[in-house]
Amino acid sequence: MTTRIEKRFAALKAEGRAALVTFTMSGDPDTATSLAVIKALPKAGADLIELGMPFTDPMADGPAIQAAGVRALAAGQTLSKTLAMVRDFRTEDDDTPIVLMGYYNPIYIYGVDRFLVDAKAAGVDGLIVVDLPPEEDEELCIPALKAGVNFIRLATPTTDDKRLPAVLNNTSGFVYYVSITGITGSAAPDATKVAAAVTRIKRHTTLPVAVGFGVRTAEQARMIAQGADGVVVGSALVDVLRASLDKDGKATPLTVKAVADLVADLSQGVRGAKAAAE
């Protein structure tokens, strides 16, 4: 069965452009506002939605996304509430792919089998679990694939040709290329190096390659989109959301619009790459 992720990338390939993949933290700054944000994303130009699962020890995340997770947890966000948000989103949008991104611990505590049943029923299309290497595929990756949920892996600048086949084995949906070494949101990617890395990865796989970490502006998105199948933006969206909050860290009437406006701008950048190529 073709997943929403596969359908979306195929449609965009036919259109001749890259995907804009947006990341926000579920439950940041509260469940209702977070749901309103994700509902606004497709209308603003997001092609795929990554939804963070807040966790108490997010070792791969930079300060902005760590702080978003802290806000979400403080507001009472749980994995069950995240799945409920996806269910609610699906009542209005049955097409936009949703990928849950985070760490294995909350899924392990929830129970892998139960989680996969509930995630699939809610309308989750894929998982990115950053602390599960290929050597532990039996834990979650293989069961997820059997359940019809794409398991998306990260490749980095340090993933050499010897390691790539292991990373790509059992990967589905797309490959997420982390364009810079280090934590999220820390530096801007080099478009020339990124394009070369995407070409190298594509020698090993037919899957689309989406590039993230460090993309903050429409111009950066346009540059990356010229050499990749997708552009992932996370920290910039989390930052603009945080900047819209009041002094107590609560949502304001500007919060949803602030995120949607940046997504609309980034979307123009991604779509501009196609125009530049023609």
Give me the pLDDT at residue 278, please.
59
Q: What is the pLDDT of residues 130-165, one digit of tens each?
A: 999 999 999 999 999 999 999 999 998 888 889 999
- pLDDT band at residue 57 under the 50/70/90 scheme: confident
Give me the pLDDT at residue 1, please.
76
- Whether 45 and 264 have beta carbons less than 8 Å apart is answered as yes
CA distances from 113 to 56, 117, 133, 274 (A): 22, 6, 19, 41
Q: What is the pLDDT of residues 241-254, one digit of tens each?
A: 999 999 999 999 99
- Whether 240 and 191 have beta carbons less than 8 Å apart is answered as no
pLDDT at residue 185 above 60? no
E-assigned strands of 65-214?
Answer: 98-102, 126-129, 150-151, 153-155, 175-178, 209-212
Q: In terms of pLDDT, which residue wins out, 121 or 212? A: 121
Mean of the pLDDT values across residues 96-108? 97
CA distances from 213 to 22, 54, 155, 157, 254 (A): 11, 18, 12, 12, 25
* Topology (CATH level 3) of domain 4-277: TIM Barrel (3.20.20)
Q: How crowded is residue 113: how many other Cβ atoms within 10 Å of its Cβ?
A: 10
State what percent of residues in the chain have pLDDT above 70.
95
Q: What is the pLDDT of residues 111-120, one digit of tens each?
A: 999 999 999 9
Q: What are the structural domain ranges in the chain?
A: 4-277
pLDDT at residue 67 above 60? yes
**Region for residue 33 given its phi and psi (left: phi exceeds 0; alpha: psi -120 to 50; beta: otherwise):** alpha
The helix or strand, by DSSP H or E, that contains position 50, with its residue range, turns out to be strand 48-52
Dist. CA 49–CA 56, nearest whole Å: 22
pLDDT at residue 188 above 80? no
State what percent of residues in the chain have pLDDT above 90.
83
The phi and psi torsions of 20 (rounded to 5 degrees) equal -100, 115
Which of 65, 56, 63 lies closest to 104 in space, CA to CA?
56
- Which residues are part of the catalytic machinery? 50, 61
Give me the pLDDT at residue 41, please.
98
Q: What is the pLDDT of residues 205-230, one digit of tens each?
A: 999 999 998 889 999 999 999 999 99
Mean of the pLDDT values across residues 44-66? 91
pTM confidence score: 0.95
Q: In terms of pLDDT, which residue wins out, 60 or 43? A: 43
What average pLDDT does the chain have?
Answer: 93
CA atoms within 13 A on the CB side of 161: 5
Q: What is the pLDDT of residues 170-182, one digit of tens each?
A: 999 999 999 876 6
Give me the pLDDT at residue 276, please.
63
Beta-carbon contacts of residue 27 (< 8 Å; ≥ 6 apart): 34, 54, 71, 72, 73, 75, 76, 77, 81, 82, 85
- Over its C-alpha atoms, the chain yields an Rg (Å, rounded) of 17
For residues 217-251, b (16+ Cβ closer than 10 Å) or e, as one string? ebebbbbbbbbbbbbbbbbbbbbbbbebbeeeeeb
Dist. CA 11–CA 96, nearest whole Å: 12
- Which amino acid is located at 61 in the chain? D
The phi and psi torsions of 177 (rounded to 5 degrees) equal -95, 120
